[in-house]
Structure 1
Amino acid sequence: MNIQYPLFSQVVLTQDLPQHNLKRGEVGTIVEHYPMAEGEDGYSLEGFDVPEVTIEVAASQIVSLPRWQKEEIILTKLRQLSETRLLQIEDYLDFLWQKEKSEEKSA
């Protein structure tokens, strides 16, 4: 599923981009969208701590700022759980992931 991020929305890098000296978690602003008929959409980002630099990324390399913030809250809570609870969460996540895949196939 392609998620199109609106122009000028803030997104977070999901991986390091060493060629630009950028790290996972850094926030940028979308300034251009490159829709692809096949494959992944692309985006141009600006606004990192490097002035006047625009980088190009694939959709899989970014996530919206609100989603990133929610995921960080969840990760903080996960780090506080016991090993037993983590195993239970993992089982439940597997269940949800299978359900998501099933719903995508039927859509």
Structure 2
Amino acid sequence: MDFELYTDVVLLQDIPEENLRAGDIGVVVDRHDIEGIEPGYSLKFFDMLGETIAVVTLAGSLLRVPTHADRPTVRSEAMSA
């Protein structure tokens, strides 16, 4: 799937080394095309106050577009450790 720059995407699997979990919402900030390989995307993830918590580059297959069925959730840093 193609994702436009500056759109929200939903993470499909945990990325423990970045303290990200499936269902977290990130913003596409760049697209990376390498011939013969699926597109990759640089993403920014924010906390509820707008502070950046992670910047990662992931394959497009690890992302999806949000739907009306999605609901934001809150987890504290202490709970995610």
Shorter-normalised TM-score: what interval? Answer: 0.7 to 0.9
Q: Find the counterpart in structure 2 of residue 4 from structure 1.
A: 2
Where 2:17 maps in the other structure, the secondary structure is: helix
CA contact (8 A) 1:8 1:30 kept: yes
Equivalent residue for 1:43, pick from 41, 44, 47? 41
Equivalent residue for 1:33, pick from 25, 31, 34? 31
Structure (1/2) with the larger helix percentage = 1
Residue 34 of structure 1: how far off its partner (Å): 0.4
TM-score, normalised to structure 2, is 0.72
Q: Distance in 1 between matches of 2:12 and 2:44?
A: 16
Q: Find the counterpart in structure 2 of residue 62 from structure 1.
A: 63
Counterpart amino acid of residue 4 in structure 2: P
Give the RMSD, CA atoms, in angstroms: 1.7
Residue 52 of structure 1: how far off its partner (Å): 5.7
Show structure 2 runs of 5+ residues with no match.
Answer: 71-81
Q: Which has the higher contact order (CA 8 A, sep 6+)?
A: 2
TM-score, normalised to structure 1, is 0.56
Residue 59 of structure 1: how far off its partner (Å): 0.6
Count of aligned pairs between the two proteins:
67
Structure (1/2) with the larger strand percentage = 2
Residue 36 of structure 1: how far off its partner (Å): 2.2
Percent identity over the alignment is: 31
Show structure 1 runs of 5+ residues with no match.
Answer: 73-107
